[in-house]
Amino acid sequence: MTESKHRYFIINKPANMVSQFISPDTVGLLGDLEYDFPEGIHAIGRLDSHSEGLLILTTNKKVTRLLFQGEVPHKRVYVVHVKNVINQEKLNLLRTGIPILIKGNVKYVTTPCEVEIVEKPKGWLKRSKEPEDVPHTWLRITLTEGKYHQVRKMVYAAGHKCKRLIRMSIEDLELGDLQPGKVREMEEEDFFKKLKIENWRDILEKPTFLGN
């Protein structure tokens, strides 16, 4: 690893675990993972407890603004298991923009995105006890925005139930063969390169940058 005052990790967050190290509730925590994380570590771009997949952990508090609050939106890819078979009309609705309720009970039409029917991701164990022959669909959804529970709300607005949601990648930062519950540390330069954040060194060194 190259010398850096910050450290960067990706994990494959399993289901039934919150994206936190501390909680007043009796829930699965990131600290339950078998890994000796450094002091000051925290999650970026959280996944809800029922969702799985790629989660970024870092000691660098500035990453949130660089990744999710900057002017350039970053692409996120999810694979979603939904109940029943989705028809072409619903697919087009998901692709072109679908009304969902966001904070404040406000109706919001989602930004056009990529949605396609795919096969079940290889290497992912079956979670549900439901037989395989029950009608269902696996979707690959690529977003550049992230409202609260957006993917689940989109699927629900299309008349389907989200049975499983897995975040596969953020830009070129991918899960790859990382197994559920496992952790991988990354070099700082490779981390920002895969997230397609340019001039990150200059930005992080600015004393006026929020998050110091």
Task: Based on the fold, state whether residues 62 and 86 are members of the same structural domain.
Answer: no
Residue 211 belongs to a domain? no
- Give the residue ranges of the chain where pLDDT is below 50: 1-2, 209-212
Domain of 100, in residue numbers: 76-170
Task: Based on the fold, state whether residues 151 and 120 are members of the same structural domain.
Answer: yes
- Residues serving a catalytic function are 48
Task: Based on the fold, state whether residues 55 and 140 are members of the same structural domain.
Answer: no
Q: Determine the pLDDT at residue 209.
A: 47
**CB neighbour burial string for 182-212, b if at least 16 within 10 angstroms, e if fewer:** ebeebebeebbbbbebeebeeebeeeeeeee
Task: Based on the fold, state whether residues 154 and 111 are members of the same structural domain.
Answer: yes
Give the strand pairing for 162-170 and 52-58. parallel
Q: Determine the pLDDT at residue 122.
A: 79
Residue 3 belongs to a domain? no
Q: Determine the pLDDT at residue 197.
A: 85
Task: Based on the fold, state whether residues 57 and 101 are members of the same structural domain.
Answer: no
Task: Based on the fold, state whether residues 88 and 117 are members of the same structural domain.
Answer: yes
Task: Based on the fold, state whether residues 164 and 179 are members of the same structural domain.
Answer: no
The region that residue 163 occupies, defined by phi over 0 for left and psi between -120 and 50 for alpha, beta otherwise, is alpha
Task: Based on the fold, state whether residues 165 and 89 are members of the same structural domain.
Answer: yes
Q: Determine the pLDDT at residue 199.
A: 72
Here the CATH number for the domain that contains residue 148 is 3.30.70.1560
Residue 155 belongs to a domain? yes
Here the CATH number for the domain that contains residue 46 is 3.30.70.580
Task: Based on the fold, state whether residues 140 and 179 are members of the same structural domain.
Answer: no
Task: Based on the fold, state whether residues 94 and 166 are members of the same structural domain.
Answer: yes
Residue 109 belongs to a domain? yes
Q: Determine the pLDDT at residue 57.
A: 96
Task: Based on the fold, state whether residues 155 and 105 are members of the same structural domain.
Answer: yes
Q: Determine the pLDDT at residue 211.
A: 46
Q: Determine the pLDDT at residue 134.
A: 83
d(CA 35, CA 33): 6
> Three-class SS string for the chain?
CCCCCCCEEEEEECCCCCCCCCCCCCCCCHHHCCCCCCCCCEEECCCCCCCEEEEEEECCCCHHHHHHCCCCCCCEEEEEEEECCCCHHHHHHHHHCCEEEECCCEEEECCCCEEEEECCCCCCCCCCCCCCCCCEEEEEEEECCCCCCHHHHHHHHCCCCEEEEEEEEECCEECCCCCCCCEEEECHHHHHHHCCCCCHHHHHHCCCCCCC
- At 22, list the tokens: 């501390």
d(CA 28, CA 26): 7
On average, the pLDDT of the chain sits at 88
Task: Based on the fold, state whether residues 80 and 29 are members of the same structural domain.
Answer: no
Number of domain units in the chain: 2
Q: Determine the pLDDT at residue 128.
A: 59
Q: Determine the pLDDT at residue 45.
A: 84
